[in-house]
Copies of this chain bind each other. A is one copy, B any other.
Amino acid sequence: MSKPFKKILITGAAGRLGTELRRGLVPLAESLVIADKVACEDVQPHEEMKVFDLADEAAVMAAAEGCDAIVHMGGAPFERPWQDVLDSNIRGSYHIYEAARAHGVRRVVYASSVHAIGYRRLDEGMRGDAPPRPDSLYGVSKCFVEALASLYWDKFGIESGCIRIFSSFPEPADRRMLWSWLSFDDMVRLVSSCLTAPHLGFTIAAGMSDNKVKPVDMSNAGHIGYAPQDSSEPYREKVEAAHPISDPKALSTQVIGGYFVDMGHPDDEGEP
């Protein structure tokens, strides 16, 4: 059986998630364009490496040529000074969508983030596509791209899956990740679901594994067919032994963005 896509562009391919996707998306595409600011290691025969900065519109345009899907994981993965957020996440993502429009790309999967809604409370019973409530400039930039994705579907017919990734790491690293963890395999499953869903349109989906604590109702994305198969439970004992219980009265304990709500402004002296 032929693969559903001829060529998929993966941005942020040298990063933590991009590395997993290079492996995980092989079943879906005949070849991959892997793009990052730095060169990836071990480039495979079915892969084509492109090194550039997302702020470079011409380079983004060139990378997307011939692709029928883009998995856009690139950009700053964390709170950063405004200029960085502006260049890599806002301008960079705009370039991605323009490239998609220019080259007839059918679908874009975008690494949005829990931090687009980080001030929402664990007990408010939110849906995965809850309206914006960002906890950082980083989170604001994610809201921007979600809005952009909405426009490019409604006006230009480019389908987008915006995945609000919670915590995608090799294993849960603290108590919060016992509920926010998205295993790498589930992350690949979720990206793959967006690429193969019968209808994607403009979809915002929460990205978590099948952890016991589920603060977010993911049923709004039932139509993409994501079925997580991992859970943080096997790591519970280890995590709980290593990390004390969070202060129940701290805001960071009560919201889904966690410690992001405690960070100051990134341009202030002494901030990260």
Tell me the A residues contacting B by CB distance below 8 Å: 1, 4, 82, 86, 90-91, 94, 98, 101, 106-107, 116, 119, 121-123, 125, 129, 131-137, 139-140, 143-144, 146-148, 150-151, 154-157, 159, 175-176, 178-179, 193, 197-203, 211-217, 219-220, 222-225, 227, 237, 240-241, 245-246, 248-249, 253-254, 261, 265, 267
B147 touches A132 (CB 8 A): yes
A201 touches B254 (CB 8 A): yes
B123 touches A150 (CB 8 A): no
CA of A107 to CA of B4, assembled, Å: 44
A216 touches B212 (CB 8 A): no
B148 touches A101 (CB 8 A): no
Residues of B within 8 A of A217 (CB): 219, 222
* A93 CB to nearest chain B CB (Å): 11
Copies of this chain: 6
Residues of B within 8 A of A213 (CB): 197-198, 222-225
Residues of B within 8 A of A150 (CB): 119, 132-134
In the complex formed, the residue of B with least CB distance to A127 is B125
* A261 CB to nearest chain B CB (Å): 7
B176 touches A154 (CB 8 A): no
CA of A107 to CA of B98, assembled, Å: 36
Decide yes or no: A246 and B155 within 8 Å by CB, A90-B90, A132-B146, A225-B213 being known contacts. Answer: no
Q: Of B140, B193, B246, which is within 8 A of A147 by CB? A: B140
* A264 CB to nearest chain B CB (Å): 8
CA of A3 to CA of B136, assembled, Å: 34
Decide yes or no: A144 and B140 within 8 Å by CB, A198-B176, A213-B224 being known contacts. Answer: yes
Residues of B within 8 A of A146 (CB): 132
CA of A143 to CA of B265, assembled, Å: 21
In the complex formed, the residue of B with least CB distance to A142 is B147
Chain B CB count within 10 A is highest, among A1, A143, A267, for A143
B214 touches A122 (CB 8 A): no
Residues of B within 8 A of A267 (CB): 98
CA of A11 to CA of B157, assembled, Å: 36
CA of A139 to CA of B146, assembled, Å: 12
A119 touches B200 (CB 8 A): no
CA of A119 to CA of B179, assembled, Å: 28
* A241 CB to nearest chain B CB (Å): 4
A147 touches B134 (CB 8 A): yes
Q: Of B107, B137, B151, B199, which is within 8 A of A151 by CB? A: B137
